[in-house]
């Protein structure tokens, strides 16, 4: 099926060394330098400094409203930072956005999908947009539809998809061009356990092959299982960062059995307050 005309691939040489632009960011897949986002008086992201190496599986945690999605939007070129820098594969995302975007796959918080396309058409379209050769687009699309359990609904328009199906089709579109760095904003929320397992396996396989993954999540068990390193943001400030082991040692002292949830609650300063609702008594 060729619903879309052949597109001229963007004039980007994927084989070229990617790190020539910035010697500072050379060894990092992702680097943010003093990244700030203000919304009026609100400081949503406050001088975020993060460095993620190639092949890392980085989990970004934080309570609701902490600044995770805002940070990711600035990293992928969707929201211009108030100040600060972001480099992906050594490319300055805001100086050289086209080149940076060609290196990334993005699953954003709010999925902006073409509702009138079918799932198959949407994934195919994404592949062509990234300049993937047509034969590869077809093969990869069919494979993704199959493993993500979307094959039976491939002819259905996205407007008629469920929440989880929309997320899976967006995920397929984000990884089909085999990007070097993948940003995923809450990829597992709304996904059933079977597909969740499939997605985990795909993402782990990608990192084994050198892809870098940066994702936000509230699902501690998934983060614990997948991540090589974790960052915790609270009220726009990065309050902890390291391997799970390092975070456990720092946040919980002697407690070697502390779970990531224990560490998280400890780091963001949650106390055992009374959460009862008075009007239920």
Ligand X SMILES: Nc1ncnc2c1ncn2[C@@H]1O[C@H](COP(=O)(O)OP(=O)(O)OP(=O)(O)O)[C@@H](O)[C@H]1O
Smallest distance, Å, CB 149 to ligand X? 26
Q: Which is nearer to ligand X, 82 or 228 (CB)?
A: 82
Instruction: List beta partners, residue 33.
Output: 85
Closest by CA to 36, choosing from 26, 45, 27, is 45
Contact 34, 74 (CB under 8 A): no
Residue 193 CB, nearest approach to ligand X (Å): 21
Residues paired with 43 in a beta bridge: 38
Q: Which stretch binds ligand X (CB under 6 A): 21-29, 36-44, 203-211, 246-254?
A: 36-44
Nearer to ligand X by Cβ, of 39 and 114: the residue is: 39
- The reply to whether 70 sits near Mg ion by the rule CB under 5 A is no
Shortest Å, Cβ 61 to ligand X: 9
Beta-carbon contacts of residue 244 (< 8 Å; ≥ 6 apart): 224, 227, 230, 260, 263
Contacts with Mg ion, 101-140, as mask; x by CB under 5 A: --------x-------------------------------
Q: Answer yes or no: are the C-beta atoms of 130 and 102 closer than 8 Å.
A: yes
The least distance separating ligand X from the CB of residue 38, rounded to whole angstroms, comes to 9
Selected from 10, 17, 65, 97, the binder of ligand X by CB under 6 A is 65
Alpha helix stretches (DSSP H) within the chain: 68-76, 97-103, 119-129, 134-147, 163-175, 193-208, 220-226, 244-252, 260-267
Piece of the chain touching ligand X by CB under 6 A; list 26-34, 62-70, 119-127, 167-175: 62-70
- Is residue 167 a contact residue for ligand X (CB under 6 A)? no
Residue 64 makes contact with ligand X by CB under 6 A: yes
Does residue 65 sit in helix, strand or coil?
coil
- CA atoms of 90 and 178, how far apart (whole Å): 18
Which one, of 74, 73, 33, lies nearest residue 52 by Cα? Answer: 33
For residues 86 and 126, which CB has a smaller minimum distance to ligand X in the complex? Answer: 86
Among residue numbers 249 through 278, which ones bind Mg ion (CB under 5 A)? none
Is 68 a residue that touches ligand X (CB under 6 A)? yes
| Minimum CB distance to ligand X smaller for 69 or for 180 | 69
Q: What angle do CA 225, 86, 199 make, to 5 degrees?
A: 30
Q: Which of 25, 29, 30, 44 touches ligand X (CB under 6 A)?
A: 44
| Dihedrals phi, psi of 240, to nearest 5 degrees | -160, 150
Of these partners, Mg ion, ligand X, none, which one is at the site of residue 66 (CB under 5 to 8 Å by kind)?
ligand X
Q: Is 69 one of the binding residues for Mg ion (CB under 5 A)? A: yes
Q: What angle do CA 213, 218, 221 make, to 5 degrees?
A: 80
Q: Does 266 bind ligand X (CB under 6 A)?
A: no
Binding site for ligand X (CB under 6 A): 39, 42, 44, 62, 64-70
Binding site for Mg ion (CB under 5 A): 68-69, 109
């Amino acid at each position: 099926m060729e619903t879309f005309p052949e597109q001229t691939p963007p004039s980007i040489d994927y084989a070229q060394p990617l790190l020539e632009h910035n010697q500072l960011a050379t060894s990092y897949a992702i680097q943010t330098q003093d990244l700030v986002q203000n919304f009026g008086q609100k400081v949503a992201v406050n001088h975020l400094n993060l460095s993620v190496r190639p092949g890392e599986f980085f989990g970004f945690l934080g309570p609701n409203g902490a600044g995770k999605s805002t940070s990711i939007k600035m990293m992928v070129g969707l929201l211009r930072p108030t100040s600060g820098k972001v480099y992906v594969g050594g490319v300055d995302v805001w100086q050289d956005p086209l080149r940076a975007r060609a290196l990334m796959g993005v699953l954003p918080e709010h999925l902006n999908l073409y509702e009138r396309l079918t799932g198959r058409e949407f994934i195919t379209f994404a592949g062509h947009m990234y300049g993937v050769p047509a034969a590869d687009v077809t093969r990869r699309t069919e494979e993704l539809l199959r493993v993500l359990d979307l094959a039976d609904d491939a002819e259905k328009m996205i407007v008629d998809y469920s929440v989880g199906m929309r997320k899976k089709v967006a995920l397929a579109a984000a990884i089909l061009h085999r990007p070097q760095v993948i940003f995923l904003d809450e990829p597992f929320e709304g996904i059933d356990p079977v597909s969740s397992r499939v997605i985990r396996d795909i993402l782990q396989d990608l990192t084994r092959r050198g892809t870098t993954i940066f994702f936000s999540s509230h699902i501690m068990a998934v983060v614990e299982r997948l991540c090589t390193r974790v960052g915790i943001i609270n009220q726009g400030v990065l309050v902890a960062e390291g391997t799970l082991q390092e975070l456990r040692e720092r946040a919980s002292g002697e407690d070697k059995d502390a779970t990531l949830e224990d560490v998280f609650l400890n780091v963001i300063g949650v106390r055992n307050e009374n959460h009862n609702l008075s009007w239920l008594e």
